[in-house]
Structure 1
Amino acid sequence: MRIVLLGAGHIGRAIARLLGDSGDYRVTLVDRDEAALHGLARESVETRVVDTADLARLTPLMRGHDAVVNALPYHFAVPVATLAREVDCHYFDLTEDVASTRAIRRLAEGAPTAFMPQCGLAPGFVGIVAHHLAQGFEVLHEVKMRVGALPAFPGNRLKYNLTWSVDGLVNEYCRPCEAIRDGQRVELLPLEGLEHFSLDGVEYEAFNTSGGLGTLCETLAGKVRTLDYKSVRYPGHGELMKFLLEELQLRADPETLKGLLRRSVPATMQDVVLVFVSVSGLRDGQLVQEVFARKIFADRHGPAPASAIQITTAAGLCAVLDLFRDGQLPARGFIRQEQVALPALLANRFGQVYAQSGRIESVA
């Protein structure tokens, strides 16, 4: 399968390695920064230096490929998906942006090719887990999804290091958050709904952020009382972000906030990803709760060291791409993450990173 992969950032590089090393994909990796492509070329991966903001130059690159994988910042999602529709290319991306996903769904209507956005961790894998657990209940009461990409060794007052896209981080902190309350679809404010809990003896907080539910609100509408998604952080992070966004009014100036974060908050490859999904409801007339919990650590010892967020996000996308290639997903139109069968994903060569990760034993 011939893939054009746009973006050689942290996640794009990890995707290129996984697909290129699998032996089943021919990848053309495109980025505007030649340095970002260094060391990635190999027999099955061709690198191209192209300004990814120049859509006219991307069009001829995409022709002749079976699919485009978009690992660019979220604001490129709709333009690139539009190009994919024009050249009859399947489309996959990692976006967390709700408006972009809705626009891509409209593009997919009547298309001869497939469009599958939100193929990462959250949205992505976490929605696949939640939907799978929900199928085991006769009556759904509550679906809670909690995900965090955290530094293993926090060393600043934010208790946070940059582990993925700053654009995506600020976007999820600023946009309204979809949810279901008392059976009704609602929008919640980001950074609200603060809760505290502990996993394996470590204290965390969680609060509303945008985009993590993917299309689950629509899929489970009328079937569940309560559905929400929250990002997990170390205690105190949310309050400091509210100070920046609200009191310093940086919500109205996101570019300044992004610049501050890039200059002042160090990046790290030493991170941990937490995935916690809890579903409760009635089964055989009894109130039952099912929990899926994982903790995935960075891999610092392999030939290509990878952070936990690289591992989990790249694996999510590569696994659904593999399932699509094998005919286990629809061949055309809009594909929701919850159309992926969790057992098939966990059995997949890429998705096995979730099956083999550490299980969380204690929750308080």
Structure 2
Amino acid sequence: MHRVTILGAGKIGSAIAKLLCLTNDYVVCVGDTDTQALDRLSASLPVTTITVDVTDEEAIAQKLAGEDCVVSACPYWANPGIARAAAKAGVNYFDLTEDVTTTDTVRNIAAKTIAATTSEPIVFAPQCGLAPGFINILAHHLCCLFDKLDEVKLRVGALPQYPTNRLMYNLTWSTKGLINEYCNPCDVIHEGNRIQAVPLEELEHFSVNGANYEAFNTSGGLGTLCETLEGKVRTLNYKTIRYQGHRDLMAFLLGDLRLSSRRDLLEEIFEYAIPTTKQDVVLSFCTVTGWKDGQFKQVSDARKIYPRHLDQEQLTAIQISTAASLCAVMDLYLDGEIPHRGFLKQEDISLDRFLANRFGRYYNDATGAENHVPDAA
């Protein structure tokens, strides 16, 4: 039995707890300051709960004594402190952050910890969700099918199935994280040069199975792929998928109304005015072009993930996709299938092993997913 502490009892943290508990292979503890959320979890799952302030590194380190792993399902700003607590406790660390600065901080913590440790090293695995996360594992796998790369394009969106407002959007995950992605610079590779692109720009339109979408630059989705593929590809970018018309309204709010400098106010407005939904869908699309055996080729992978019932509870598509990805990475690591210590890049994980994992299989069940891993033939 593996002992895991999950910090954060929100939508994603509770989904991670459920997936782990259903295996009967994990002893799960969930920590939060929200006692009502903890009570709901302990009433429905065989978990222990602790009330803990995620900004109190010493308290967290003490709570982690004897654990195998800690999972941060908290907002990105809490992750550096949790990573430092994991280092003090000698516990493997996993998170879901999309924030570039946070990931850099976790990398530095990992480097210092590995350099200073005299015991068995631990792993620091940020960005274990959907994007970054699964999409990076998938993209790197497709890249490895080619002798030489030209373009790598990643597109991901968590969308309402039935949009009714002018934004054509419902809140399905962290509002703070959403705004962060819309406002921060975007790492890309353009004409072979690693640069930072402007968020919300480079608008494009496309259709999948007859439905029309748009996509535009957002921050963080590439994870560490820019670093990994620098010097190997002409174009590499990540864009968020939305229904058409969303980008222009967001540009008005963030640009014309200058709410990019009032993020707390925008978060308050969104959570007041935009309803949440459990009727969502996650769409991922990755396409790679390059040369194989002297021929210029393209390989693509498109998937849709819908909500599903697990143990008499409906989990949303974003809960399933995010929680399953993190659980798969942690499960593979604890089973020795990711022989790694220190800072772990998502693209260092085998797609074949990920999809064969009991948690990763949720991506194989996705509507539109290939029954086999695409090849460049």
TM-score after normalising by structure 2: 0.93
Q: Which residue of 1 aligns with 2:326?
A: 317
Are 1:14 and 2:15 matched, yes or no? yes
Q: Which residue of 1 aligns with 2:75?
A: 73
Q: CA offsets, 1:151-195, max 9 Å, x none?
A: 001111110000000111011001100000111101001000100
Q: 1:307 is matched with which residue: 301, 311, 316?
A: 316
Q: Which residue of 2 aligns with 1:250?
A: 259
Q: Cα offset for 1:66?
A: 1.1
Q: Which residue of 2 aligns with 1:171?
A: 180
Q: 1:84 is matched with which residue: 80, 83, 86?
A: 86
Q: CA offsets, 1:121-161, max 9 Å, x none?
A: 00000000000000010010000000000000111111000
Q: 1:193 is matched with which residue: 202, 205, 225?
A: 202
Backbone CA RMSD of aligned residues: 1.4
Comparing 275-284 and 302-311, the one that deviates more: 302-311
Matches within 5 A, 1:234-249: 234-249=243-258
Instruction: Name the amino acid aligned to 1:115.
Output: F
Q: Tell me how far apart the structure 1 counterparts of residues 275 and 55 of structure 2 sit (CA, whole Å).
A: 26
Matches within 5 A, 1:1-364: 1-41=2-42, 44-109=46-111, 110-111=113-114, 112-300=121-309, 303-359=312-368
Paired residue total: 361
Q: Unpaired runs of 5+ in structure 1?
A: none
Q: Tell me how far apart the structure 2 counterparts of residues 301 and 318 of structure 1 sit (CA, whole Å).
A: 15
Contact map agreement 2:224 2:345 (CA 8 A) in 1: yes
Q: Tell me how far apart the structure 2 counterparts of residues 44 and 325 of structure 1 sit (CA, whole Å).
A: 21
Contact map agreement 1:21 1:44 (CA 8 A) in 2: no
Q: Tell me how far apart the structure 2 counterparts of residues 91 and 240 of structure 1 sit (CA, whole Å).
A: 38
Instruction: Name the amino acid aligned to 2:41.
Output: L
Contact map agreement 1:25 1:44 (CA 8 A) in 2: no
SS at match of 1:359: coil
Contact map agreement 2:98 2:132 (CA 8 A) in 1: yes
Q: Tell me how far apart the structure 2 counterparts of residues 140 and 17 of structure 1 sit (CA, whole Å).
A: 40
Comparing 91-100 and 101-110, the one that deviates more: 101-110
Q: Cα offset for 1:210?
A: 0.3
SS at match of 1:39: helix
Q: Tell me how far apart the structure 2 counterparts of residues 24 and 323 of structure 1 sit (CA, whole Å).
A: 13
Instruction: Name the amino acid aligned to 1:6.
Output: L
Instruction: Name the amino acid aligned to 1:93.
Output: D
Q: Cα offset for 1:274?
A: 0.2
Q: Cα offset for 1:329?
A: 1.1
SS at match of 2:40: coil
Q: Unpaired runs of 5+ in structure 2?
A: 115-120, 371-377
Q: Tell me how far apart the structure 1 counterparts of residues 331 and 309 of structure 2 sit (CA, whole Å).
A: 26
Q: Tell me how far apart the structure 2 counterparts of residues 52 and 106 of structure 1 sit (CA, whole Å).
A: 20
Percent identity, please. Answer: 52
Instruction: Name the amino acid aligned to 1:133.
Output: L
Q: Cα offset for 1:81?
A: 0.6
Q: Cα offset for 1:302?
A: 5.4
Contact map agreement 2:150 2:235 (CA 8 A) in 1: yes
Q: Tell me how far apart the structure 1 counterparts of residues 45 and 36 of structure 2 sit (CA, whole Å).
A: 19
- Go from structure 1 to structure 2 and tell me whether the alpha carbon gap of 1:247 and 1:162 turns closer, same or farther (over 3 Å shift): same
SS at match of 1:272: strand
Instruction: Name the amino acid aligned to 2:209.
Output: D
